[in-house]
Amino acid sequence: MKKRRSSTDNKDDTSKQKKSRIGGQKQKKPCVLEEDDSVFGQLLRAAGVSLRQGSMPNEIAVDQTVFQMRLRKGLRKHPRYPNIVQEFITGLESYMEDQEKFKNCLLPCALLSAEGESSAVNSYQESLIKLLLGIEMLQSPVINTLFEKLPEFMFEGAGEEGLNIPRIIINQFKWLDRVTDSKDLASKLMQLVAVAPVEIQRDIITSLPEILEDTQHNDIAKELNSLLQKNTQLTVPILDALSSLNLSSDLLAEVRQAVMATLSAVELEDLPVVVKFILHAISGAEAVEVVSDLRKKLELESCVLPPPLQASQSRAKSRGKGGSSLNSAASSSQDCVSLVLDAIKSAVRFQKAISEAWIKAIENIDSVAEHKVIDLLVLFILHTTNSNHSRRGAERVLRNKVRGGHIRESLLQAAFRGHTTVIRAYFPSIISLAQSLLRSPDPSVVTFGSQMYKHAFTSFDPYCQQEVVGSLVTHVCSGYAGEVDVSLEVLSELVTQSPADMALYAVFVKGILDYMDNLTPSQIRKLFYILSTLAFSRGTEGSHIQDDMHIVIRKQLSSTVSKYKRIGIIGAVMVVGSMGTRRSKPEGVSSEAVPLPKETYRQVTALLGLVRSCSECSPEAAALYYDELANLVQTGDLDPQVHEWIGISVLEDFQEDFVVDLGPEIKGTFPLPAKAMYNLDEEESQGGIAINLLPLLAEDLQKGAQLSRPAQGDKRRVSPLCLGSFFRLLRLCQEEQNQGDLVEIDALLGCPLIVTDLDVVEKMDCLSKPEKEFLCTLLFHAINWIREVVNAFCRQQDPEMKSKVMIRLQNITYLQSVLERCLAATPAYAPPLANFDCETAEGAVPASAAPPAKKEKKGRAGQKRKVDKNSSGDSSQLEEGAEAEESQQEKESPEKEKEKEEGKAGVSLVSYRPYFRELDIDVLSVLQCGLLTRSLLDSEDHTKVSEVVQLGPSELVFLLEDLSRKLEFSLAASNAKRMPFLKVKADKNVGFSHLQQKSPSEIASCCIQLLPALCNHLENTHNFFQVLLLENNGVVDAPGVDMKEYQLMSTCYQLLLHILLTTFSWSGFSQHENRKLLKSALAILAGRLKEKENEVDLGMEELVRQSFGYLLNFHSTIPGCSPALSLTQLLIVVADQGPDSQYREKIASLSRGFLCQEWILPSGEREKGNKHNEMLQSLLSIYLEHTDDVLKAIEEIAGVGFPELISTTKDGCSRTFPTLTRQTFLVFYRVVMGVLEKSVRRIAAGKQMDSSEAQSEKLLTWNLAVRDFHILVNLVKVFDSRPVLGVCLRYGRLFVEAFLKLAMPLLDYSFKKHKEDVQSLLKTFQQSTRQLHYMCGHTKIRQDTGLTNHVPLLKKTLEQFVYRVKAMLILNNCQEAFWVGNLKNRNLKGEEILSQQTEDSEKGEDDEASQLPEEESEREDEDNEDKSDSEVRNGVREEEEVEEDEESTDDSD
């Protein structure tokens, strides 16, 4: 029974209008009563209702309930009852023949007051028909009468008075206290729906929940569902009605599925209702499936106008009224999207299951192409809701998706571009998410957060823009380096793209000036660029910032603290860049450039003069000033007048400070004898020039040693520290003035340096500590000078200059080899600074420079070995071997040297890289020259300058290392560039300041231009190893192989492959604007095959195929494990650009081939060490990931490789997998266990509806997996070292958990059909679980905390397995076949643990009985089977049983 609705809820819109209209009338005419002497009229009057004529409402003098009671009583007590009922209905029908009277009966009655006047204002009265329907004996005939009358008005629509008669008739059936024949009423309504016009159909359908009783809901829902399939016009009313019906869960799911099937065909304006219905009343079990299906079919992209229409719409908006139809279409579609999101928001807010389902649905997508705009919008919605759980979940999912590369910037751009007005509602969540993402340690996540800020600023209104700028300023002032860098980068881009908008918020940005103490020099440079652009680019508008900036800069320049002086220099140069920029000429003006205003020119020159005077006394400050000014000249578009002013004194000052005429003798006394070296212009040896390096260094050190400050009138201090910076500024000024020609300073390329004779290196032991340090400093300055010379002249096309640049590169590699030896003999030496825009402390010693650290490490290693001797014999051997190979690897790591005599080793220069000047990316164009082997280089005479000198292996390695570092810095994947949680001392940006001025796409473009040259070098290296293998019949360590040459060429091979890998792994290639660049790169690789030369434009798929084939050809000559891994990863990256399936098999075959290859060094030893192990781990993971049958591959390694290793000697290896040795066993074991656990988690869980074939197939898969697991767990008996135990305990528990979750449901349903298979599977698995139990006892004996931490969870899982098997047997009516005994704690060798034996001596016999021998277990099994057979024969019950000898863990230890 439905509850009666309150009188206020009873009103419908039309009735309200009518009532108020009638009630408000002033009745000018007297009331005319209808004189009806029929039974109908008499009974009504007797009950209290007076019928009226005309448009006046009928009057009721009594309460509605009283009227119904009187009429019911009058009918029942009438002499002609029950015939009187029919007479009454006949009278009603005849009365309603008149349409006006019929309308009166349908409209509310008026209450007759005590004064005899009717009033419709005091309280609402039902209509006469509604009152009659409330009387049970009259209900059915009155309903019939109404249905007969309704067709008369069906096609009339609303009358003159706005009355819709069909709607009013239908309203009479709503909210009746009781319906006598609900089924009949439902039938009549549905029949009417079949023939009625659409408007009436909608009215009827939406009224159904208010008319029918609950018992009819399921039946009517089925009819509505079938109607929905036929008539899409009725989608909204049908779904509204279904949402209000009380349906069974099965029927609701069926209807929901039917609605989901039609979702793609639904009209846009109906979409919100459909989505609301689909998300209505979902249970937790089905929520994920329903939501996943919904997001798959919900295409919000179709609600967005295509780009051409968007453009025309924006043009129409700018013109005014022009595109009203487009505007209305766009706004209506956005309104619909907004309503859809509101429906999702409502469901998410009030149903936790749906909130979790959306998160799970988005998490489950693992393809970039499958992600849609709706995913982002839903994450914003989830973050908006008040629930902390959903906020955290949305944030976590978004971060993980961005980190995994699944949600990309293109999707974010599509969301903001297509749904700006919709997203605006979620602005607070967008800002909050952007703040959170920007604090992430992962650069890819940080980049996404910065994109959110940029889109929010460009898409939203000024209020949002202000919030964005405020939030970015907060990030800058936070003090965390990662946040500061990205926030400044975003502000910089916004200033460049939207200077007018950003000018409004300049005051916010200016506030950062108070927090400059926490900023690095590069960050300060960005900040001053932003502020100076805002202050000076828009004339007088930024004058309020200009004054503040001038004050700050002058204050910092006058400081004696180097940190603040550095800030002043950087700020001043950035301000000069903005003030002195070249003025753009207005349109229509002549081609002559607009000159700089005189006042501005005066300010610029005065500021430059101030900076110069303030930095003269400090070499570091002067060098920084020259570097900053050089960057400005190179990157800024300075006014010609400013250029001229800078260039006037640079050349003269450089000649005066650093260049001397070369005479027969060098006068003066110095710590080391002076000598002019590295002269490339021998014919000009007399009367030429030289760089005065050694005398200047000696003089500078002498001045530096004097503690007294120089007097005011003293000459400025000239230091070799400024040499590189000053020359860079000179060179760039010359390039700017002479359009790239350096003819005026070309003498500096070939002129000698005044250094010392390097024979002194052989007598290093005889030198004092100051002399050693002086020599090291001299070498640093010499190398840095030559690096800057190479930077300057590398782009010159003159063959003579090119040959000199080549020789300068050879000078660098030679001097570096000398420096390595000098540093080895000079511990605790602090090199001179070379990069001045960093926080590197003066006098700091590089971390890994001092040799004593190695001794310390060896001591620690020895100590560790001593501790580990307590473990069993095999583990101690294994770990000692690992320690030994690590130290051996350190000793034998190939270091790049030019000379290595008398066994003197050098220090690696890796940790000294910050102390070398940065090489420009243009230097790498030298790679386009050829490659000569060592023998040719030795016989070459470099004195003939006219002959072109080609690139040697050492120089090639030098350039490739530099290119590799540059690409790692600019293009490397996010994992390689994770920001550290704690601030580290070493600044990772040191040595890359010039590179940072180029965007990653520019770097990638430069690298692709070098690609043909890199391919040439790769092919030459491949040919070198091919010839070497042919000459030595494939033996690498054959006698006569040049070790040094082999190492250099091997390093070249690795570096070339690594460079290609870094280039093609660049995440920017996934963006649409860079696809063309990727295609050109692949075309270069494909072109090397010389296939189909006539085809100019190949498709992407064909390019990928040919590039893959080209790179695959190199696998036969790979000299080591490291290049093998690089080649494999490179092939994977290239294959990812095309259809994956056709390349998986080739990659699996290749990686397996590398695993089956014995990697031998020329020395005859196997490759080993931690790095080798890491590479093997990656190769093995790649093999198992790409192979078709993972379990079969694991079985080959576990069943063939490991047993072969066990049967070999200590130094032996597996025959099938030569890379599998006792040193690499842990690597193989860890990877195989991890992959096995992951692979079983991908097996679908067993379902009851699975076919017998499907069950058999899954059982077979599980049998194979359990067999592999059994082999791996039992290997611990042989390899019982601590790391192996840890791996087994960890992955063993995870495997058992996966078995419980996925395999046990399968066994539940397949037990009766596949009894023997299930029994065999459980017995094999039981042996593995027993071994895991023994391992738990073993770890407790050893009292190793790291291992015992795994024990509680593992034991819990093992107990769960016991009871889960019992539950399976009970489900299949075989509980008698299950019994539990106490399993003793034993060690790995099966020996009982003594402490356990002592504690349990009283119940020893029970324990012995609990562990049955194998024969007894089998007999028990046979007995149970016999018992089962006899029971079946006796007809007691039909079932099958299995004996399950299981154990429960005994925790008494």
pLDDT digits (tens, 9 = 90+) for 507-538: 889 888 888 888 888 889 899 999 988 888 76
Q: Flag whether pLDDT at 976 surpasses 80.
A: no
Q: How many residues would you count in the chain?
A: 1453
Query: How many Cβ atoms are within 10 Å of 850's Cβ, its own excluded?
Result: 17
pLDDT digits (tens, 9 = 90+) for 460-505: 999 999 999 999 999 998 888 778 888 999 999 999 888 888 888 8
pLDDT digits (tens, 9 = 90+) for 1409-1418: 333 333 333 3
pLDDT for 910? 87
Q: Flag whether pLDDT at 947 surpasses 70.
A: no
Distance CA 750, CA 804 (A): 7
Better-scored residue on pLDDT, 933 or 1189: 1189
Considering 33-47, 244-258, 1223-1237, the range whose residues carry the highest mean pLDDT is 1223-1237
pLDDT for 120? 47
Q: How confident is the model at residue 706 (pLDDT cuts 50, 70, 90)?
A: low
Please state which of the ranges 613-627, 900-914, 1124-1138 shows the lowest mean pLDDT. Answer: 900-914
Q: Flag whether pLDDT at 183 surpasses 50.
A: yes
CB 1017 within 8 A of CB 655: no
Across the range 898-908, mean pLDDT stands at: 51
Distance (Å) of CA 1119 to CA 467, 1053, 1111, 1155? 57, 8, 15, 13
pLDDT for 979? 45
Beta bridge partners of 691: 659, 753
Across the range 328-354, mean pLDDT stands at: 78
Amino acid at 52: R
pLDDT for 244? 84
Q: What are phi and psi of 425, to 5 degrees?
A: -65, -20
Dihedral sign, CA of 62, 68, 72, 78? positive
Cβ neighbours for 860, distance < 8 A, ≥ 6 positions apart: none
Across the range 128-147, mean pLDDT stands at: 90
pLDDT digits (tens, 9 = 90+) for 1338-1373: 887 777 788 888 888 888 888 888 888 888 888 887
Distance CA 441, CA 436 (A): 11
Across the range 1193-1205, mean pLDDT stands at: 90
pLDDT for 791? 92
Distance CA 669, CA 666 (A): 9
Q: Flag whether pLDDT at 1404 surpasses 60.
A: no
pLDDT for 1365? 86
pLDDT for 1420? 38
CB 786 within 8 A of CB 677: no
CB 1421 within 8 A of CB 1443: yes
Q: Flag whether pLDDT at 867 surpasses 50.
A: no
Better-scored residue on pLDDT, 1283 or 702: 1283
pLDDT for 260? 82
Cβ neighbours for 385, distance < 8 A, ≥ 6 positions apart: 345, 348, 349, 355, 391
Q: Flag whether pLDDT at 1096 surpasses 70.
A: no
CB 1132 within 8 A of CB 1147: yes
Q: Flag whether pLDDT at 988 surpasses 80.
A: no
Query: How many Cβ atoms are within 10 Å of 1440's Cβ, its own excluded?
Result: 18
pLDDT for 1424? 39
Q: DSSP per residue over 740-788, as a string?
A: T--GGGTHHHH--EEEE-GGGGGGGGGS-HHHHHHHHHHHHHHHHHHHH
Distance (Å) of CA 1298 to CA 180, 1286, 1326, 1336? 58, 19, 15, 20
Q: Is 641 helix (H, G, I), strand (E, B) or coil?
A: helix
Distance CA 19, CA 5 (A): 19
pLDDT digits (tens, 9 = 90+) for 1256-1293: 888 899 999 999 999 999 888 888 888 998 999 899 99
CB 210 within 8 A of CB 9: no
Q: Flag whether pLDDT at 430 surpasses 50.
A: yes
What is the chain's mean pLDDT, rounded? 78
Closest CA to 207 of 247, 177, 237, 252: 237
Across 882-970, where does the E strand assignment appear? none
Please state which of the ranges 120-124, 159-163, 1026-1030 shows the lowest mean pLDDT. Answer: 120-124
pLDDT for 1007? 92
Angle at 509 between CA 508 and CA 514, to 5 degrees: 95
Output DSSP code: residue 1378: E
Residue identified by tokens 């075309």 is 1083
pLDDT over 70, % of the chain: 78
pLDDT digits (tens, 9 = 90+) for 254-297: 888 888 887 777 777 888 888 888 887 777 778 888 888 888 88
1056-1089: b (≥16 Cβ within 10 Å) or e = bbbbbbbbbbbbbbbbeebeebbbebbbbbbbbe
pLDDT digits (tens, 9 = 90+) for 10-39: 444 444 444 443 344 434 444 455 666 788
Distance CA 816, CA 1195 (A): 51
| 461, two tokens | 């209104």
Please state which of the ranges 71-85, 432-446, 1380-1394 shows the lowest mean pLDDT. Answer: 1380-1394
Q: How confident is the model at residue 856 (pLDDT cuts 50, 70, 90)?
A: very low
Q: Flag whether pLDDT at 887 surpasses 60.
A: no
Q: Flag whether pLDDT at 829 surpasses 80.
A: yes
pLDDT for 1062? 92
Q: Flag whether pLDDT at 1139 surpasses 60.
A: yes
pLDDT digits (tens, 9 = 90+) for 657-694: 888 888 777 777 788 888 888 888 766 555 688 898 88
CB 1001 within 8 A of CB 1074: yes
Dihedral sign, CA of 426, 431, 436, 442? positive
Pairing verdict, β 110-112 and 59-60? parallel
Across the range 1135-1154, mean pLDDT stands at: 84
